[in-house]
Amino acid sequence: MSEALLGFQHRYQSGTTPGSPTLLLLHGTGGNEEDLLPLGSMLAPEAGILSPRGKVLEGGMSRFFRRLAEGVFDVQDLRARTTELAAFVAAAARHYRFDPARVYAAGFSNGANMAASLLLLSPATLAGAILFRAMVPLVPDTPPDLSGTPVLLSNGSEDSIVPRENAERLAELLRGSGADITHLWQPGGHELTRRDVAAAHGWFSRVVLTDGANGGF
């Protein structure tokens, strides 16, 4: 069930084995806590799932932070929302008793930008991230220590919303903070595709799961 606990409407599903990682699923604009549940199952069926709904409304559509225009973010609001989401993840770990050191974000579009902001402003919140169609959310005042943090970026080669140079700048920003970056370019635009999911499943199995691939995509 979707629960309005800990400050966010959200869904939680426990992992299938003790010590399983937890996927923090962050939807795109207009989505909700249900949207990416199938994605979580395809990425890592054994992982726990924590899927909150963004609390900002734009024309009735849920988002994780405000924007002033397409690609122009309200940085003050982004900083505050990032702090709020980090506190939610920590509270959820205590409430549901999952390992806070084994949380990996998987976000699409607005959710991917929020995940990138968590990496940059609250690096202890995430052990790694999968960012589908992300762009630079902000440049932190002080670079975070992301030493060895695995991050997959999957961008569309024909994306009209996220320019190639912006996606590459995000990869360099994270790499410059020590993150272990894998950056993929997929054919297509700003949509999430089966090719994205298949590549992310393989990456997560290789990089995160200690016993390698766990079931085919």
* pLDDT value of position 157: 96
pLDDT at residue 1 above 60?
A: no
Nearest to residue 37, comparing CAs of 46, 27, 20?
27
pTM of the model: 0.94
* Whole-number Å distance between alpha carbons of 158 and 58: 25
* pLDDT value of position 54: 97
pLDDT at residue 146 above 90?
A: yes
Nearest to residue 195, comparing CAs of 204, 186, 203, 183?
186
**What domain range includes position 116?**
3-207
pLDDT category, 108, cuts 50, 70, 90? very high
In terms of phi and psi (left: phi > 0; alpha: psi -120 to 50; beta: otherwise), the region of 178 is left
Does residue 214 belong to any structural domain of this protein? no
Active-site annotation holds for 190:
yes
pLDDT in tens, 59-93: 999 999 999 988 789 999 999 999 999 999 999 99
Lowest mean pLDDT among 68-77, 88-97, 112-121, 202-211: 202-211
pLDDT at residue 215 above 60?
A: no
Q: 64 and 26 in contact (C-beta within 8 Å)?
A: yes
* pLDDT value of position 4: 60
Does residue 203 belong to any structural domain of this protein? yes
Catalytic residue among 74, 77, 122, 190, which? Answer: 190
| Average model confidence (pLDDT) across the chain | 93
Does residue 183 belong to any structural domain of this protein? yes
Does residue 215 belong to any structural domain of this protein? no
Does residue 13 belong to any structural domain of this protein? yes
pLDDT at residue 206 above 60?
A: yes
Question: How many structural domains does the chain have?
Answer: 1
pLDDT category, 212, cuts 50, 70, 90? very low
Q: Which two tokens stand for residue 89?
A: 């993840």
Active-site annotation holds for 145:
no
Does residue 14 belong to any structural domain of this protein? yes
* pLDDT value of position 105: 98
Active-site annotation holds for 10:
no
Burial level of 82, CB count in 10 A (0-12/13-18/19+)?
Answer: buried
Does residue 175 belong to any structural domain of this protein? yes
pLDDT in tens, 160-196: 999 999 999 999 999 999 999 999 999 999 999 999 9
Can you give the CATH number for the domain in which 107 is found? 3.40.50.1820
Does residue 217 belong to any structural domain of this protein? no
Pairing verdict, β 22-26 and 56-58: unpaired
Q: What is the mean pLDDT of residues 29-57?
A: 96
* pLDDT value of position 166: 97
Catalytic residue among 159, 177, 196, 205, which? Answer: 159
* pLDDT value of position 19: 84
Catalytic residue among 20, 51, 109, 177, which? Answer: 109
